[in-house]
Structure 1
Amino acid sequence: MPQQPRRTIEIMDTTLRDGEQTSGVSFSASEKLTIAQLLLTEVKVDRIEVASARVSDGEFEAVKKITKWAKASGLLDKVEVLTFVDGETSVKWMQQAGGKVMNLLTKGSLNHLTHQLKKTPAEHFADVAAVLSLAKKKNITCNIYLEDWSNGMRHSPDYVYQYLDFLVKQPVKRIMLPDTLGVLTPGEVYQYVSAIVTRYPGIHFDFHAHNDYDLGTANVMEGVRAGAHGLHLTINGMGERAGNAPLASAIAVMHDFMPHIKTNVAEKSLYTVSKLVETFSGFRIPVNKPVVGENVFTQTAGIHADGDKKNNLYFSDLMPERFGRQRKYALGKTSGKANIENNLSQLGIKLSDADLKKVTQRIIELGDRKEVVTQADLPYIIGDVLDSNTIEDKVQINNYLLTHAKNLNPSVTLQISIDGETYEEQAQGDGQYDAFMNALKKVYKQRKTDLPVLTDYAVRIPPGGKSDALCETIITWSHHNREFKTRGLDSDQTVSAIKATQKMLNII
């Protein structure tokens, strides 16, 4: 069989228009310009929709900044603005803002036309024709949105076809079919788009999906399969309600499962622009969001890490390197030795089997307490485990109760074993650790032994502040004219100091 030629799908990113309609999100003019530049020059989408006409002075200034840059860069025909059927108003706004492509919002269902505009089809078509004619005279390219097209196809298909019969004779470059309320199933998308594409060959149709039923990416796939020529997507799936079909997911699906489809999008730039938009918008990406979520290329189960190590058994075509990312192996109670070895390898560290077993056990203990352990924590854990290996355990802190209440001195009840003999004492102090040390001094006073003097106390956490799992306390002691340090590691600062103190007691 002859190979089917590959078809290029035109990608229009509408993060700066439809995506900005996410509740609580508003980009500044300079943020919009930065995102627009990245989308066109790095991500290489074919078009961007950057604003709605007439919304605000800020929106007007943002569009002016973007069109000025785009014109100087030879990209002005890729910058689009949502406009309205409002006589000359939107066209004049476009001219003043320097825009050359407008996306005219019109009615794609009889329900919207009748109850919102309260007009007949003939009246609406005449209003649309007047705007299109004026835009053509002003040298502005027009694309047409059929708002609520999905419900139009469900409940008033005769109206939709009547309108399309009119539009294909007008000066329109693209006709855009939005599932405005995100109500279509994948089967309906295929049925409706294929019917329209078949009926109007030679006309460019875009499909615009929303994600209200979490079907956005599936609907995009079916829209393309049905013959849509372009797609409207947003970074991180931003948009009203449940958002729009997400750019990264849609691109991955088309590139991996549709061999006869191609896009101009650069996959390696998707994660970078995703994180930038997350920062500008304050709209946080769920950690499990496909392609761009923080955890989606992280293996947690030890058996998966073991399989990856042996023959990439848990790899798929969705490789993190495609998107400028790196596979990670989570550290926790399900990690197993292979996960930890993978992380150590990335840090350039090799341990003996015995030490690796101890490190693994320590990570499992932290995981059982629901602590998050990261690769940055590993050197601290290793240091603590190897340090503990060199110290003989003659002193054991069996138990302690720390209390801290408002307007009362912190207190501690301590139980400790020294050379097999058990002691129990209570004490108060200026802080919990001070109370602990006061109780300890009482025990050692009974044994007629002086404790070292604490000369320095330092606390640190792994770099980057990404983990609340670990806190390392380093205490410097002076004893019989010599100075030494001990380290303690725990998620609680006081407990890590107590662990450092237990090491000191065993050293002396």
Structure 2
Amino acid sequence: MLEIMDTTLRDGEQTSGVSFSSQEKMSIAHLLLVDLGVNRIEIASARVSEGEFNTVKKIADWAKGAGYIDQIEILGFVDKGASLKWIKDVGCKTINLLTKGSYKHVTEQLRKTPQEHLDDVKREINLAAEMGIEVNLYLEDWSNGILNSMDYVYFMVDNLKDMPIKRFMLPDTLGILNPHTTMRACRRMVRRYPNLHFDFHAHNDYDLAVANVMVAIEVGVKGVHVTMNGLGERAGNASLSSVIAVVHDQLNMQTSIREDKLNRVSRVVETYSGLNIAANQPIVGENVFTQCAGIHADGDNKNNLYYNELYPERFGRKREYALGKLSGKSNIRKNIEALGIELDDNEMTLVTNRVIELGDKKEIITQDDLPYIISDVLKGSEKEKRVKIVSFAFVLSRGVRPSASVRIEVDGKEYEEIAAGDGQYHAFSKALWKIYTKLDKPKPDLTNYSVIIPPGGRTDALVQTVITWRFNGKTFKTRGLDADQTEAAVKATEKMLNILEDM
């Protein structure tokens, strides 16, 4: 079975601006190992700080008691045993030893010969064996090494393959590989050393990390490194959720990962990291299981014509049908069914047209908005309006009171006025009442004005404006629904004017 090593707590924490607290690291470690079923986790770099020492010790103490200590790994360095001592003191048992995987890194960063570096690495591995610490070996900058200094890579592995190293880990440190070069590079290693366990560690600089991981698995690597939500330095690492979906569906391979826990863990890491997941990120993005086009919802009603293997229930989610200008009756019907509301064909047409109208003004309408829309449409369509607000326009300038131009139609005849006020709606009201004064029509008193965002709705979608009126001793309310607060108030006012005609 393919091994999954998650390095959210080590490589993922190298994301700019991300730093997990001690309790957050403990929580993520528990979620990854216990809830998700990740095979191994890399939780820190050795010798970073006293605070990191205490955090890692806390995680190690928990892991020992829970039976997970063999799945905890620490990045360590060729430093004459300093990292090994640190790892031993915190109670961990595995070092991911960082060595140089390219000739350029050895000669220019370390300023050593390959033989000198090899000798240093061997001493570190022998010391680890004496201390009872298991070794996995990172070949840092391996992708550059295998492409540009292959003989050096072979020199290192040829001389280390018989030492007590459990895994050789092949990082694309600078994210330079593509699926073609990944295939050739990993295949060279697997064919030359068929008895060694290779891990592949991808970076996402060209947005190819998941594709590169897929190809590396196809040619025979036995483990891959991932992070939650693709966290990591620069453009990040391969995303765990995307890799798992690809492995399970495209490669038809099994892993230990519990898919139904992915979304929940992803959201926890999103909260702790402070980095929002893109709405269109595969598997865990907010919108990835949302159908927008009405034709897709229609197809889902007809034997799931627009479904693929990535059905949301696998990942602890559910399919949704967005409401907007692309919505058709099928989209809206799906949402209405979910709410337990029944509409006839004529009502469905009215609601669909209203959703499309609102969708032209704003990006998305939520299911929580729908009852408000239905109520607004059906109550507003009960009879012909005697009073219609034909148009209105506002002028706003700094240092000048807002003004409004209003045109209305009363019993088929149009009237227009302009007025200034203390705000947009106040200016609108004054212009309207100037018309009513000329027509010698009575005016109600406005006693309350409130704006409501539908529960669960979005502030960039719909608002409902509720205005309370008093007229001839009676109090009543009218409601207007729109993406714009003032326009919603205008619609509520139009309803009030028509009510007055019948009073």
TM superposition score normalised by structure 2: 0.97
Report the number of matched residues: 500
1:390 match: 382
Which residue identity does 2:370 align to in structure 1? L
1:272 match: 264
Matched, 1:409 2:401: yes
Q: Which runs of 5+ in 1 are unaligned?
A: 1-7
2:97 corresponds, among 94, 104, 125, to 104
1:3 match: none
SS of corresponding position for 2:73: strand
Identity in percent: 57
Shift of 1:65: 1.9
Matched, 1:84 2:77: yes
SS of corresponding position for 1:483: strand
SS of corresponding position for 1:410: strand
d(CA) in 1 for partners of 2:363, 2:153: 56
2:325 corresponds, among 318, 325, 333, to 333
Please list the CA deviations of residues 261-297 of structure 1 after superposition, one character each: whole Å capped at 9, or x if unmatched.
2110011111111111111112221111111111111
Which residue identity does 1:24 align to in structure 2? G
Shift of 1:308: 0.7
SS of corresponding position for 2:264: helix
1:182 corresponds, among 175, 185, 192, to 175
Instruction: Check conservation: 2:299, 2:306, Cα contact below 8 A.
Output: yes
User: Would the alpha carbon gap of residues 456 and 323 (structure 1) be closer, same or farther in structure 2, given more than 3 Å must change?
Assistant: same
Shift of 1:210: 1.2
Q: Which runs of 5+ in 2 are unaligned?
A: none
Shift of 1:483: 2.0
SS of corresponding position for 2:67: coil
Instruction: Write out aligned runs for 1:339-350 (5 A).
Output: 339-350=331-342
2:236 corresponds, among 237, 240, 243, to 243
Which residue identity does 2:87 align to in structure 1? M
Moved more, 50-59 or 170-179: 50-59
Matched, 1:377 2:403: no
SS of corresponding position for 1:311: coil
1:200 corresponds, among 193, 202, 206, to 193
Shift of 1:191: 2.4
Shift of 1:422: 1.8
d(CA) in 2 for partners of 1:464, 1:415: 35
Instruction: Check conservation: 1:334, 1:364, Cα contact below 8 A.
Output: yes
SS of corresponding position for 2:460: coil
SS of corresponding position for 1:36: helix
Shift of 1:391: 4.3
Moved more, 189-198 or 480-489: 189-198
Instruction: Write out aligned runs for 1:203-214 (5 A).
Output: 203-214=196-207
Matched, 1:144 2:137: yes
Instruction: Check conservation: 1:391, 1:506, Cα contact below 8 A.
Output: no
SS of corresponding position for 2:198: strand
1:132 corresponds, among 114, 125, 134, to 125
d(CA) in 2 for partners of 1:30, 1:466: 32
Shift of 1:428: 2.4
Please list the CA deviations of residues 10-50 of structure 1 after superposition, one character each: whole Å capped at 9, or x if unmatched.
10001111111111211111111111110000111000001
Matched, 1:308 2:330: no
1:426 match: 418
Which residue identity does 2:161 align to in structure 1? V
Superposition CA RMSD, Å = 1.4
Which residue identity does 1:352 align to in structure 2? D
Please list the CA deviations of residues 47-98 of structure 1 after superposition, one character each: whole Å capped at 9, or x if unmatched.
0001111222332222122112111111111111111101121112112222
Instruction: Check conservation: 1:336, 1:360, Cα contact below 8 A.
Output: yes
Instruction: Check conservation: 2:45, 2:76, Cα contact below 8 A.
Output: yes
Please list the CA deviations of residues 332-351 of structure 1 after superposition, one character each: whole Å capped at 9, or x if unmatched.
11111111111111111121
Matched, 1:479 2:493: no
d(CA) in 2 for partners of 1:79, 1:377: 47
d(CA) in 2 for partners of 1:9, 1:214: 23
Instruction: Check conservation: 2:361, 2:483, Cα contact below 8 A.
Output: no
1:488 match: 480
Shift of 1:357: 0.7
d(CA) in 1 for partners of 2:103, 2:2: 30
Shift of 1:467: 4.2
Instruction: Check conservation: 1:220, 1:250, Cα contact below 8 A.
Output: yes
Please list the CA deviations of residues 161-205 of structure 1 after superposition, one character each: whole Å capped at 9, or x if unmatched.
111112112121111111111212222222222332233233211
d(CA) in 2 for partners of 1:407, 1:198: 77
Moved more, 49-58 or 221-230: 49-58
2:20 match: 27
Which residue identity does 2:146 align to in structure 1? M
Matched, 1:37 2:30: yes
1:4 match: none
Shift of 1:488: 0.4
d(CA) in 2 for partners of 1:489, 1:446: 29
1:46 match: 39
Shift of 1:246: 1.0
d(CA) in 2 for partners of 1:452, 1:355: 32
2:50 match: 57
d(CA) in 1 for partners of 2:280, 2:416: 49
Matched, 1:12 2:15: no
SS of corresponding position for 2:302: helix
1:228 match: 221
Instruction: Check conservation: 1:391, 1:507, Cα contact below 8 A.
Output: no
Which residue identity does 2:317 align to in structure 1? R
User: Would the alpha carbon gap of residues 412 and 13 (structure 1) be closer, same or farther in structure 2, given more than 3 Å must change?
Assistant: same
1:156 match: 149
Matched, 1:217 2:210: yes
Which residue identity does 2:278 align to in structure 1? P
Shift of 1:465: 4.6
1:5 match: none
Please list the CA deviations of residues 221-279 of structure 1 after superposition, one character each: whole Å capped at 9, or x if unmatched.
111111111110111111112111111111111101223x2110011111111111111
Moved more, 159-168 or 182-191: 182-191
1:165 match: 158
Instruction: Check conservation: 1:459, 1:472, Cα contact below 8 A.
Output: yes
2:245 corresponds, among 244, 247, 252, to 252
Runs of 4+ with deviation above 3 angstroms: 404-407
User: Would the alpha carbon gap of residues 95 and 349 (structure 1) be closer, same or farther in structure 2, given more than 3 Å must change?
Assistant: same
Instruction: Check conservation: 1:391, 1:503, Cα contact below 8 A.
Output: no
Instruction: Check conservation: 2:368, 2:457, Cα contact below 8 A.
Output: no
Which residue identity does 2:382 align to in structure 1? T
